[in-house]
Amino acid sequence: MSRFFFNDRKQLVNDAIEGMLISAPHGNLARLDIDPAIRVVVRADWDKSRVAVISGGGSGHEPAHAGFVGKGMLTAAVCGDLFASPSVEAVLSAIVAVTGDRGCLLIVKNYTGDRLNFGLAAEKAKRYGLKVEMVIVADDIALPDNKQPRGIAGTALVHKVAGYAAEQGKSLNEVRDMARQACDNLWSLGVAMQTCNLPGSDDEEGRIKKGHVELGLGIHGEPGASVVETQNSQAIIDTLVQPLLAQAGQGRLAILINNLGGVSALEMALLTKELAHSALKDQIAYLIGPAPLVSSLDMKGFSLSLLKLNAAFEQALNAPVETLGWQKPVVFAPLRTLTHTPLHDSVEFTPSANAQVAQHVAAVAERLIA
């Protein structure tokens, strides 16, 4: 059995959703009371007066997607089984539950199952008279010639931009266009030194050699694009930064530092330090994380996502939200230090010249030696 806490494998996702909802800090989340196989987390405070923003996909990427439901981000999240797209019926149930006259936007990661199921649900919803638009996120640059790049951690930034636009009362077309513009200015790349463990399956051994990392490993454990023969933090950051910088070019950037689930806080802090001294340092305006935002169960890896900023994106990223998983952006600045006088634990003294005391000390020392 894999190293994984669980009770009933078939109920694992349902149980996890319950735990997430009862611990939500704003108390603003609910689950649709419907077929247990349909797992839809919605805003409990939603009134359908604005454009709804819906996303989702396979579970195992927590806090995505339910952790981004709340004021200022997603209206609903549709949760599939582990690494499996939610059904058409589940997506359609979410659309019907939260969509009013203003319509809804679906934000979908670029995987075949998600595209098909969300797309079919959108077509069915349109037959019900609902206005539905869809945006596909394809931010992974691991394979430069790939005509269908995967959607990975940068999806969280699209959630934030679209959620802000919807919260401002913008029309469905305006929300869609802003989300598409974010997709067009978004690039992500990740590495891992160990893939993830799945509950109930045997541990995978030997795929990634010790001292090596896979570049471009997929968030479902798909093999990476290449192997890098180092664990050196500076070298790995440089390996990620070079292709990302080639895509982004010049301009101010917000950078999401995403923990894929199994990297310690100490290591993530170290990697953030390396990023702050990398070739991107003069272009970083905001850091988001380091934190798990779009994880891959317990994968020992991380990813970087770059969003090229404009005034609208900057406002969107910094707007407050009421969610479980979003991380507030931090304005990037060099390390601050405070000057402090060194402490000395030695005693400074001037030797005395007392012949009588010297004679006594010498006599005691001689007796002890004898």
Is 220 designated active site? yes
Architecture of domain 9-331: 3-Layer(aba) Sandwich (3.40)
Which pTM was predicted? 0.91
Whole-angstrom Cα distance, residue 237 to residue 250?
19
Report residue 235's pLDDT band, with 50, 70 and 90 as the boundaries.
very high
Mean pLDDT of the chain: 94
What does the pLDDT look like over 111-165, one tens digit per residue?
999 999 999 999 999 999 999 999 999 999 998 888 899 999 999 999 999 999 9
Report residue 350's pLDDT band, with 50, 70 and 90 as the boundaries.
confident
Report residue 5's pLDDT band, with 50, 70 and 90 as the boundaries.
confident
Residues across the chain: 370
Q: At a CB cut-off of 8 Å and minimum separation 6, what does 258 contact? A: 153, 156, 190, 289, 290, 291, 292, 293, 294, 295, 302, 303, 304, 305
What does the pLDDT look like over 166-213, one tens digit per residue?
999 999 999 999 999 999 999 999 999 999 988 877 665 557 888 889
Residue 316 DSSP class: H
| pLDDT above 90 as % of the chain | 84
pLDDT at 6 over 90: no
Residue 67 DSSP class: G
pLDDT at 3 over 90: no
For residues 322 and 7, the model is more confident at: 322
CA dihedral 104, 105, 109, 110 (to 10 degrees): 110
Residue 2: per-residue pLDDT: 65
| Joined tokens for residue 276 | 């702050």
Whole-angstrom Cα distance, residue 14 to residue 197?
19
Q: Which of 220, 277, 344, 360 is catalytic?
A: 220
